[in-house]
Amino acid sequence: MKIGFIGLGSMGAPMAANLLGAHFELTVHNRTRSKEELLAENGARRAPDPGAAAPDAEIVITMVTADSDVEEVLFGPKGVAGGARPGTLVIDMSTIAPTSARSFANRLSQRGMQMLDAPVSGGTEGAENGTLSIFVGGEESQLERARPVFDALGSTVTHFGPSGSGQLAKAVNQVIVGGTFLAVAEGLAFGVEAGLTDEDKLIPALSAGSASSWALENRGRRFVRGEYPLGFRISLHRKDLRIALQEASRLGVSLPASDLLLRIEEALIEAGLDDLDLSALTKAARGG
Amino acid sequence: MKIGFIGLGSMGAPMAANLLGAHFELTVHNRTRSKEELLAENGARRAPDPGAAAPDAEIVITMVTADSDVEEVLFGPKGVAGGARPGTLVIDMSTIAPTSARSFANRLSQRGMQMLDAPVSGGTEGAENGTLSIFVGGEESQLERARPVFDALGSTVTHFGPSGSGQLAKAVNQVIVGGTFLAVAEGLAFGVEAGLTDEDKLIPALSAGSASSWALENRGRRFVRGEYPLGFRISLHRKDLRIALQEASRLGVSLPASDLLLRIEEALIEAGLDDLDLSALTKAARGG
């Protein structure tokens, strides 16, 4: 199957590599073109713009940052919608607002194209190991068409309902991920200040009980060491949290922990710490 | 080995049952005496007061609620300290302040007795299955003496340092547990309000990615259903959180998520919801 893949960031690059490994015919494009090189060495074709990755493709995957990036990649001057054939399936795996996903799906539908929203969870580890959890919104028949692709990228594929519902599940995911990171950051900052500085004792002991989480097991040692290599940029989580808070506000649901987390993230970004991983949240508990 | 066991609550009762199952000779006592009956049917002796559980025992375990309860059980008129022989090892597995643990250890030491603080994590499931994580403070030689007991109760035993350091690790644990519960409660309340009401889709999909946690996997379905059977009483977690916040304040560490959580727990208790499990935190996100 021929696939176009747009967006080779810290998630997109290993995902594209897994598709190559599963013997899909891949044409890749990235705004910073040099990121295409490694994949090209492994057999991918390179496209000079998003539209040029689309003409031959049965499926075009977009894995970019924000709503406006997806819109540009799909509907911009050299976008996918202009280059693709009718019947092409677009799978947007970026994290954007559910309302944007529904709107983009409608606009593609008017051109005879289909779209799934299929954001993911599992971090760069999940992207590299092909063990992502994929949250899918859109038509069931399109999900079946995409199934071989999803199977190469993730270990759990869940169809939540119509267009936008994959992004809704991702918004829920990001609320939980953010709050859990904050809890782990705060607890471990407290522990280190209290003298529990042996990460080889603290992390396994906590992970063996009710405090256990992906954040603790995969990021706990960073919190203890005070090292925060990217990872997952703070401003990217802030974008996701804003989506969730906007959706929650529309529903009349208050999310007090997410409100707090957003304020903490704003403060870290204002302090110039946006080049650190989200695990730098621990600085909030340490008092900056 | 002969063991006295004081405190047969939702954690203590299954822990005592596991010690019986591992063929320790057990004498049990509980303030509400009727809770001794089931263990007596399985071979435990019953003691009318804490002191009466101590005279024959090599080790006396206390698993009660708060600092004042431990003090009463150990040093009250019919307490363990009056009934036990010199050389007896007291293992307090309750969750109390590190300073209280150090003080009780000193007072026992003056009577020729030893003490370990050994609070646990892993919930009622961990207590029932003998898979608790045990956080130990006190002398290494006493931990080795207690090792067969710990092996019957838990799967992970970690020595954090001198007296009080087990309680310090537990305080860190409760900060992380509380924050993670809040994150999961808030995320799932949001998800349900947004229409993602199929727990068989939502919980496994989230658990397969970076949102994964003990709280999500073991309590997630309760959050989705809005059912909160005890469990872990909200006021008990409030007690633990107050210990952590007091210790953090002493260290000059700010714990903003724990501050928020304490306010939410206070509000739930004021609203008369203390007979619910901690998973009722989800009501905060739903707006009460």
SS (H, E, C) chain A: CEEEEECCCCCHHHHHHHHHHCCCEEEEECCCHHHHHHHHHCCCEECCCHHHHCCCCCEEEECCCCHHHHHHHHHCCCCHHHHCCCCCEEEECCCCCHHHHHHHHHHHHCCCCEEEECCEECHHHHHHHCCEEEEEECCHHHHHHHHHHHHHHEEEEEEEECCCHHHHHHHHHHHHHHHHHHHHHHHHHHHHHCCCCCHHHHHHHHHCCCCCEHHHHHHHHHHHHCCCCCCCEHHHHHHHHHHHHHHHHHHCCCCHHHHHHHHHHHHHHHCCCCCCEHHHHHHHHCCC
- What pLDDT, on the 0 to 100 scale, is given for residue B274? 87
Let me know whether B61 and B199 are in one domain. no
> Are A64 and A152 members of one domain?
yes
Cβ distance B81 to B113 under 8 Å?
yes
Q: What pLDDT, on the 0 to 100 scale, is given for residue B83?
A: 92
CATH code for the domain of B89: 3.40.50.720
Rounded distance, CA B193 to CA A248, Å? 8
| Same domain as B146, residue B186 | no
A231 and A138 part of one domain: no
Query: What range does the domain containing A196 cover?
Result: 168-285
Indicate the DSSP class of residue B76.
S
Residues of A identified as active-site: 170
User: Which of A186, A205, A284 has the CB atom closest to B169's CB atom?
Assistant: A205
Residue with tokens 């006295």: B4
CATH number of the structural domain spanning residue A276: 1.10.1040.10
Please name which of A73, A121, A130 lies closest in space to residue A232, comparing C-alpha atoms.
A121
Q: Same domain, yes or no, for B133 and B206?
A: no
- Asked if B133 and B183 sit in the same domain, the reply is no
- The residue in chain B having the minimum alpha-carbon distance to the alpha carbon of residue A201 is B158
B13-16's contacts with Cβ under 8 Å and 24+ in sequence apart are B13/B38, B13/B39, B14/B124, B14/B127, B14/B128, B15/B61, B15/B63, B15/B93, B15/B127, B15/B132, B15/B153, B16/B44
Number of domains in chain A: 2
Domain boundary among A136, A162, A188: A162
Looking at the fold, whether B50 and B87 belong to one and the same domain comes out as: yes
CB contact under 8 A, B252 and A193: yes
Distance between A207 CA and the closest CA of chain B, angstroms: 8
Of B182, B186, B205, the CB nearest to A135: B205
Residue of B nearest to A197 (CA): B160
**Statement to judge: residues B217 and B121 lie in one domain:** no
Last residue of a domain, one of A105, A138, A162: A162
- Choose the closest CB to B211 out of A177, A193, A287: A177
A214·B214 Cβ contact <8 A = no
Do the beta carbons of residue B197 and residue B226 sit within 8 Å?
no
CB nearest to B158's CB, from A184, A205, A248: A205
- Whether residues B180 and A256 touch (CB distance < 8 A) is answered with no
pLDDT at B280: 87
Side-chain-side CA neighbours of B200 within 13 Å: the count stands at 0
Chain B hits for A188, CB-CB cut-off 8 Å, are 172, 176
pLDDT tens for A134-143 read 999 999 999 9
Do B77 and B122 fall into the same domain?
Answer: yes
Please give the structure tokens belonging to residue B18: 């596991």
What does the pLDDT read at residue B282?
81
CA-to-CA distance for B176 and A215, rounded, in angstroms? 11
Q: Inspect the interface and report whether the beta carbons of A173 and B156 lie closer than 8 Å.
A: no
Whole-angstrom distance, CA of residue B156 vs CA of residue B135: 9
Q: How far A26 CA lies from chain B's nearest CA (Å)?
A: 26
Kindly give the parts of chain A with pLDDT less than 70. Answer: 285-288
| B151 and B175 assigned to the same domain | no
Nearest CA-CA distance, residue A248 and chain B, Å: 6
Answer with the one of B108, B131, B162 that is the final residue of a domain: B162
Q: Which of A131, A180, A219 to mutate to test the interface with B (most CBs of B within 10 A)?
A: A180
Mean pLDDT by 10 residues, chain B (288 residues): 97 98 98 98 98 96 98 98 96 98 98 98 96 98 98 98 98 98 96 95 98 96 87 91 97 95 95 88 69
Across the interface, whether the CB atoms of A184 and B180 are under 8 A apart is answered yes
Q: Do A126 and B210 touch (CB under 8 A)?
A: yes
Q: Are residues A13 and A62 in the same domain?
A: yes
CA angle B97, B98, B102 (to 5 degrees): 120
* Shortest Cα distance, chain A CAs vs residue B85, angstroms: 33
Chain A residue with minimum CA distance to B123: A210
Q: 3-state class of B55 per DSSP?
A: coil
Beta bridge partners of B213: A213
The residue among A105, A79, A109 whose CA lies nearest residue A92 is: A105
Distance CA A118, CA B128 (A): 40
In tens, the pLDDT along B185-194 reads 999 999 999 9
Q: What is the nearest CA distance from B8 to chain A, expressed in angstroms?
A: 20
Is B120 in Cβ contact with A211 (below 8 Å)? no
Q: Helix A214-225 crosses helix A199-207 at what angle (to 10 degrees)?
A: 160
Q: Are residues A18 and A129 in the same domain?
A: yes
H or E stretch at B26: strand B25-29
Catalytic residues of B: 170
Q: Identify the pLDDT of residue B288.
A: 42
| C-beta atoms of B186 and A210 within 8 A | no
